[in-house]
């Protein structure tokens, strides 16, 4: 009788293990901390989605005898392994001494890993003081899923 009980327990344990293995291979994400329904469209359960990483860089070109305005040369670069599909709008803006001076919503640009684009914005002299700060911020409304949000702004001091 004891021998039959041991065989029965062994068979039950093997069956439970087989069911668990079969379930885990069909639902791989469930055993990796993935909750059902939390995948992106088209994403395989348990698969990690590569995210973009928007990086904001700004250089200032100070006024000269021929030009009175400060020129902000702004560059947005995708440093992440993922891409931006061009379907999710994101806003970028230039602030002068804490006040928004320029902004644009970009809803069509596709950016693969390593892609960048630049633009120049002339800051009118009447919007500046003798000294202050100019700040360039990318994705001001946090619409883009990114690996790193800490590099979405660039701020520089100026003195005229």
pLDDT per residue as tens digits for the range 95-133: 999 999 999 998 777 899 999 999 999 998 877 888 999
What's the confidence (pLDDT) of residue 14?
Answer: 53
pTM beyond 0.85, yes or no: no
User: How far is Cα 105 from Cα 13, in angstroms, rounded to an integer?
Assistant: 59
What's the confidence (pLDDT) of residue 46?
Answer: 52
Name residue 94's beta-bridge partners.
Answer: 102, 136
User: How far is Cα 91 from Cα 55, in angstroms, rounded to an integer?
Assistant: 13
Which residue range(s) make up the domain with 142? 54-159
- Sequence length of the chain is 160
Question: How many domains are contained in the chain?
Answer: 2
Which residues lie closer than 8 Å to 134 by C-beta, 6 or more apart?
58, 60, 70, 72, 94, 95, 96, 123, 155, 156, 158
User: How far is Cα 90 from Cα 53, in angstroms, rounded to an integer?
Assistant: 13
Residue 110 and residue 140 in one domain = yes
Residue 103 and residue 141 in one domain = yes
Residue 140 and residue 80 in one domain = yes
The residue behind tokens 């960048």 is 116
Residue 58 and residue 29 in one domain = no
Q: If you average pLDDT over residues 19-44, what whole number do you get?
A: 44
- Which of 8-17, 33-42, 97-106, 131-140 is the least confident region? 33-42
CATH of the domain at 83: 2.60.40.10
Structure confidence at residue 77 as a pLDDT band (50, 70, 90): very high
């Amino acid at each position: 009788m004891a021998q039959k009980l041991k065989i029965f327990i062994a068979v039950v344990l093997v069956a439970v293990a087989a069911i668990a293995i079969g379930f885990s291979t069909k639902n791989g994400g469930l055993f990796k901390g993935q909750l059902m329904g939390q995948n992106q469209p088209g994403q395989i359960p348990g698969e990690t989605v590569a995210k973009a990483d928007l990086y904001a860089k700004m250089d200032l070109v100070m006024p000269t005898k021929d030009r009175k305005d400060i020129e902000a040369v702004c560059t947005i670069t995708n440093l992440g392994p993922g891409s931006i599909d061009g379907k999710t709008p994101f806003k970028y803006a230039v602030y002068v001494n804490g006040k928004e001076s320029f902004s644009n919503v970009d809803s069509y640009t596709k950016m693969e890993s390593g892609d960048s684009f630049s633009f120049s914005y002339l800051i009118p002299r009447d919007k500046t003081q003798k000294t202050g700060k100019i700040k360039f911020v990318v994705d001001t409304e946090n619409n883009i899923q990114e690996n790193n949000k800490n590099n979405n702004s660039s701020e520089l001091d100026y003195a005229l």
